[in-house]
């Protein structure tokens, strides 16, 4: 697999220990499922095409996105390209069945397909989810399968029950069978909380993890435990949510969403301080936000979500934009970056 252009976007890094390589920038497809904004099929297709033209060769999706809509759309777009030239990941842990109650909009999907989730992390549930994803994508060769949203943030008091499905119920065993048989090349997690990855590392040998947020310009607590543990174990991190759900994309005059909800005042104030430093150095906040996490050796790729071809091109340009070393020094001096955090010039 090679990138389309010689660029930071297309630069390949190893993901885990099993020979997979992913481009510096990947495409996350929650927006293709209608997260916060509805997209037409044409807009979704054009977004994937723009990603390909920019050199992106790693694409991540999930049944959860738009209640299976994103998988349909991504598969339709990717089947136009040579299968040996990109890496594809999807997720398991939810099975989707025809909806029996009206969708209340609480998950943020606009105009999702008429299906509802049943959480199922058991052996047979994981295998069935995988096969369902193959059919929706229209692509048999899925490179990476991730357990989606295990952890207390998603399940609260029910998390021990679902954790037991992974352990005693054979969910981890199903992942190992898929990997050992060659049906997938790597397995891991797709979560919003670092603690869940640490818990799984103590139980099962994963190759990679998609972490949404938790290592961004706004938050670097994972330097204490998760990132060193992953680096030591050779577990590659796919970093999603570099914009923290939106607030780091356009700053305090843009979308004031943080961690899938309304940004609290202290976050807004911190973003304003970040913006002020970026402005002095003539660097768009979005460029700093996308490039910062990629400097850490545990981060193999940064996933960007885009809801249009133009937004994708803007994100790719932000990832490529030169940033003076003085910006990172200024952010450290003002206490806006953890002193331990690597920056691109390092």
Q: Are strands 58-60 and 25-28 parallel, antiparallel or unpaired?
A: parallel
Q: How far apart are CA 136 and CA 121, in angstroms?
A: 19
Q: How far apart are CA 331 and CA 137, in angstroms?
A: 42
**Percent composition of the chain: helix, strand, coil (DSSP 3-state, to 5):** 45, 20, 40
Q: What residue has token string 């490039």?
A: 291
Q: How far is CA 221 from the centre of its chain?
A: 18
From 8, 65, 86, 121, the catalytic residue: 65
* Bridge partners (DSSP) listed for residue 147: 92, 189
Identify whether 65 is a catalytic site residue. Answer: yes
CA separation (Å) from 129 to 137, 205, 274?
12, 21, 41
Q: How far apart are CA 55 and CA 31, in angstroms?
A: 19
Residue 221: count other Cβ atoms within 10 Å of its Cβ.
12
Output Rg (C-alpha) for the chain, integer angstroms.
19
From 91, 185, 207, 215, the catalytic residue: 91
Identify whether 119 is a catalytic site residue. Answer: no
* Bridge partners (DSSP) listed for residue 283: none
Token code pair at residue 138: 């229209």
Identify whether 91 is a catalytic site residue. Answer: yes
- Would you name the residues annotated as active-site residues? 60, 65, 91
């Amino acid at each position: 697999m090679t990138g389309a252009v010689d660029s930071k976007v297309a630069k390949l890094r190893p993901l885990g220990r099993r020979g997979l390589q992913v481009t510096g920038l990947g495409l996350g497809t929650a927006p293709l499922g209608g997260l916060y904004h509805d997209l037409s099929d044409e807009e979704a297709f054009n977004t994937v095409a723009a990603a390909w033209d920019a050199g992106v060769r790693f694409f991540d999706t999930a049944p959860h996105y738009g209640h299976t809509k994103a998988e349909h759309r991504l598969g339709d777009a990717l089947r136009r390209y040579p299968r040996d030239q990109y890496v594809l990941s999807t997720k398991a842990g939810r099975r989707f069945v025809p909806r029996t109650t009206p969708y209340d909009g609480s998950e943020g999907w606009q105009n999702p397909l008429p299906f509802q989730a049943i959480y199922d992390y058991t052996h047979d549930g994981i295998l069935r989810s995988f096969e369902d994803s193959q059919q929706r994508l229209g692509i048999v060769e899925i490179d990476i399968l991730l357990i989606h949203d295990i952890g207390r943030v998603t399940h609260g008091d029910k998390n021990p029950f679902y954790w037991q499905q992974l352990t005693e119920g054979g969910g981890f065993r199903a992942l190992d069978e898929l990997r050992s048989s060659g049906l997938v090349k790597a397995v891991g997690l797709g979560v919003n909380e670092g603690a869940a990855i640490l818990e799984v590392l103590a139980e099962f040998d994963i190759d990679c993890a998609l972490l949404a947020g938790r290592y961004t310009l706004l938050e670097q607590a994972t330097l204490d435990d998760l990132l060193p543990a992953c680096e030591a174990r050779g577990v590659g991190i796919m970093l999603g949510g570099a914009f923290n759900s939106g607030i780091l994309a356009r700053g305090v005059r843009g979308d004031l969403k943080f961690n899938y909800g309304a940004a609290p005042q202290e976050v807004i104030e911190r973003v304003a301080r970040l913006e002020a430093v970026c402005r002095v150095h003539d660097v768009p906040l979005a460029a700093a936000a996308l490039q910062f996490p990629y400097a850490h050796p545990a981060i193999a790729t940064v996933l960007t979500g885009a809801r249009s071809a133009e937004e994708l091109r803007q994100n790719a340009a932000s990832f490529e934009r030169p940033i003076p070393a003085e910006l990172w020094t200024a952010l450290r001096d003002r206490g806006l970056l953890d002193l331990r955090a690597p920056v691109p010039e390092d």
